[in-house]
Amino acid sequence: MEEYLDLQDLNPVEMLGKIGKYYGKGAVFTSSLGLEDMVITDMIARNNINVEIATIDTGRLPDETYQLMETVRSEMGIDLKIYFPEREDVEDMINSRGINLFYHSLDNRHFCCNVRKVKPLKNILRKRSVWITGIRAEQTVARKNARKVEYVRDHNVWKVNPLLDWSRDEIWSYVSIHKVPYNILFDQNYKSIGCQPCTKAVGKDDDERSGRWWWENGVKECGLHLTGGVNTDLNLGKNSG
Ligand code: SF4
């Protein structure tokens, strides 16, 4: 990749536009249909930005998330590309460890997230140059050190996080102003939504990730964003091969 794109001082729409212009389908935005993801989806749709929007159907999502997928495709007119875990991986896992294995041990939980999320993500990112995400620094301890543009060696991509410094209030404000569709579970005291068996509603003052894997005390991550970026140079393009 020859281009050197300095994205550091751009606003999210400018960032996305520049990525679409220079990388096109070499860039992918991975959406889990969360609030932040819907904001980015709206920005891409509203500004006709040429990047693929992909999501992973883990097979265990809440009905409300599937409804939102349908809305994104039919009402927002987005060609949402849906990726799946490998059938053999799921069969082997379920037959050897049980259907609801994630409740039984941390190892099982990580194993399930790896099969249903991390491996499909690797497929999505294969042969890409740029990976756009909706993570925010405020969300978890692990995300505090993320950068808006960082090189992720494990996937050999540049990861771009346009909303990294947005607050939750700013996200809701954008959703409200632009009438962005969102998962109706957010109106039922959910603050973060993943797979149905691993997500629950929380109290008004609870941490926003507290409803995810609520039986665990450790890092509230599925592994998608645990591959640390190593970039200290914010000019996207270096090392992108
Ligand atoms: Fe499996 Fe739960 Fe992870 Fe979904 S969130 S992949 S069901 S452990």
- Most confident region among 57-71, 125-139, 220-234 by mean pLDDT: 57-71
What is the Cα–Cα distance from 189 to 169, expressed in whole angstroms? 15
Instruction: Compute the distance from residue 135 Cα to the ligand 1 centre, in Å.
Output: 18
CA-closest residue to ligand 1 atom 6: 113
ipTM value: 0.99
Q: Is the pLDDT of residue 145 over 90?
A: no
Q: How far is the CA of 98 from the centre of ligand 1 (A)?
A: 13
Residue with the smallest CA separation from ligand 1 atom 5 is: 195
Give the pLDDT confidence score for residue 5 in this predicted structure. Answer: 65
Residue nearest to atom 3 of ligand 1 (CA): 113
- Taking residues 182-207, what's their average pLDDT? 94
In order of their start, the domains of the chain are 5-236 (3.40.50.620)
> From the alpha carbon of 117, which atom of ligand 1 is closest?
6
Question: What is the chain's Cα-based Rg?
Answer: 17
What pTM value is reported for the model? 0.89
Summarised one tens digit per residue, pLDDT across range 155-179 is: 999 999 999 999 999 999 999 999 9
Q: Which of 94, 195, 224 to mutate to test the pocket of ligand 1 (most atoms within 8 A of CB)?
A: 195
Q: Is 199 in the pocket of ligand 1 (CB under 6 A)?
A: no
Percent of the chain with pLDDT over 70: 89
Band of residue 226 on the pLDDT scale cut at 50, 70, 90: low
Please state the rounded mean pLDDT for residues 102-120.
Answer: 95
Query: Which of the four pLDDT bands, split at 50, 70 and 90, describes residue 222?
Result: confident
Residue located nearest, by CA, to atom 2 of ligand 1? 198
Cβ of 24 closer than 6 Å to ligand 1, yes or no, is no
Q: Is 60 in the pocket of ligand 1 (CB under 6 A)?
A: yes
Mean per-residue pLDDT for 94-115? 96
Whole-number Å distance, alpha carbon 199 to ligand 1 midpoint, is 9
Give pLDDT, residue 117.
Answer: 95
For the record, the structure tokens of 147 come out as 């950068």
In this predicted structure, the answer to whether residue 238 has a pLDDT above a threshold of 80 is no
Atom of ligand 1 nearest to the CA of 198: 2
Task: Please name the residues in contact with 201: beta carbons below 8 A apart, sequence gap of 6 or more.
Answer: 185, 188, 189, 190, 211
User: For residue 183, which of 53, 62, 11, 5 has the smallest C-alpha distance?
Assistant: 62
Under the banding of pLDDT at 50, 70 and 90, the label for residue 29 is very high
Q: Is residue 237 very low, low, confident or very high in pLDDT (cuts 50, 70, 90)?
A: very low
Hey, which of 112, 193, 219 would you mutate to test ligand 1's pocket, going by the most ligand atoms within 8 Å of its Cβ?
112
Mean pLDDT of the region 46-67: 97
pLDDT at 2 over 90: no
d(CA 40, CA 132): 9
* Mutate-to-test residue for ligand 1 from 103, 109, 216, highest number of ligand atoms within 8 A of CB: 109
Active-site residue 198, yes or no?
no
Q: Is the CB of 12 under 6 A from ligand 1?
A: no
Q: Are 51 and 132 in contact (CB under 8 A)?
A: yes
2 or 216, greater pLDDT: 216
Banded pLDDT at 181 (limits 50, 70, 90): very high
How far apart, in whole angstroms, are the C-alpha atoms of residue 148 and residue 14? 13
